[in-house]
């Protein structure tokens, strides 16, 4: 089974993510070792919490450069929730610079009379990259589970893989570009749809492993 490094920087829902990866047919390895990130077949960067502590924890553990090098090398990479946001240059939630792997910013939902912030619960994706491996074997525009007050706003619209609408605001729900994929929702909390998304990621990892 492919070994997938699950990055431990004290900000992730590691248990649920690992259980989901196991069900998807992978061997998760929770780690903050740069060497183990390099040796893994793929990397998952989960995240729950605030932007500034997340990037501070990553940098204090010396993980920023190994993550950048892994993505640049073509290794399959999946960011989840906060693990998507910290890939960007900056966030309205804090003052720390993000990893800057993706050009763009993290913005906060605008208050509206009839919406709640955070955006929490099940919502329907509007898939914009139907050929992305993320959506293999899924119904069109599936429902997934969100918990977030901020959303990513990439400069390059071509990396958008799905959007979601909350109130009158349509925002990024997933991105995909070559080996880099990241989602704002929680696949590990999204029942069978989420498990299929994780299985799709694992399938891509298997394809990359030399025979």
Enter the pTM of the model: 0.96
pLDDT in tens, the chain (211 residues): 899 999 999 887 799 999 999 999 999 999 999 999 999 999 999 988 899 999 999 999 999 999 999 999 999 999 999 999 999 999 999 999 999 999 999 999 999 998 999 999 999 999 999 999 999 999 999 999 999 999 999 999 999 999 999 999 999 999 999 999 999 999 999 999 999 999 999 999 998 887 6
Query: Is 148 an active-site residue?
Result: no
Of the residues 81, 119, 148, 166, which is catalytic?
81
* Residue reference for tokens 């069900």: 23
Give all domains of the chain, ordered by start, each with its CATH number: 3-208 (3.40.50.880)
Contacts of 167 (CB under 8 A, 6+ apart): 109, 112, 114, 115
Query: Is 15 an active-site residue?
Result: no
Cα three-residue angle 123-125-131, rounded to 5 degrees: 160
Query: Is 22 an active-site residue?
Result: no
Helix, strand, coil in percent for the chain, rounding step 5: 30, 30, 40
């Amino acid at each position: 089974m492919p070994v997938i490094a699950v990055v431990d920087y004290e900000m992730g829902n590691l248990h649920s993510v690992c259980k989901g990866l196991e069900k998807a047919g992978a061997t998760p390895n929770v780690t903050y070792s740069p060497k183990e990130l390099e040796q893994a077949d793929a990397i998952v960067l989960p995240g729950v919490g605030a932007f500034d502590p997340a990037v501070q924890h990553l940098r204090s553990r010396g993980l920023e450069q190994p993550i950048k090098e892994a993505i640049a090398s073509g290794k399959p990479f999946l960011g989840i929730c906060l693990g998507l946001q910290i890939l960007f240059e900056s966030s309205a939630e804090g003052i720390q610079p993000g990893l800057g792997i993706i050009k763009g910013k993290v913005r906060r939902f605008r208050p509206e009379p009839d919406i709640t912030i955070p955006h929490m619960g099940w919502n329907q994706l509007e898939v914009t990259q139907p050929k992305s491996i993320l959506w293999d074997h899924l119904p069109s525009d599936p429902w997934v589970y969100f918990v977030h007050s901020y959303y990513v706003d990439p400069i390059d619209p071509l990396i958008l893989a799905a959007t979601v609408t909350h109130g009158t605001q349509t925002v990024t729900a997933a991105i995909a570009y070559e080996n880099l994929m990241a989602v704002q929702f929680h696949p590990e909390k999204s029942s069978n749809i989420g498990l299929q998304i994780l299985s799709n990621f694992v399938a891509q990892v298997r394809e990359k492993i030399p025979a």
